[in-house]
Amino acid sequence: MSKVTISDFTIALFELAEAEGKALRQSIRLFLTEERLALEETAFNSGLSVALVGAAVLSLLIALGFLSWGLYGLCATYISPLAAPFIPGVLWLAISLLFLWAAGRRKKNEP
- Specify the pLDDT at position 66: 92
What confidence tens digit (pLDDT) does each residue in 32-73 have?
A: 888 888 888 888 888 888 888 889 989 998 999 899 899 999
Nearest CA among 60, 88, 57, 92 for reference residue 74: 88
Give the start-to-end residue ranges of the domains of the chain: 6-109
pTM of the predicted protein model: 0.54
**Please, are residues 63 and 47 in contact by the beta-carbon 8 Å criterion?**
no
**Please, are residues 72 and 88 in contact by the beta-carbon 8 Å criterion?**
yes
| Alpha-carbon torsion (23, 25, 28, 32), positive or negative | negative
Degrees to nearest 5, angle at CA 61 with 69 and 80: 20
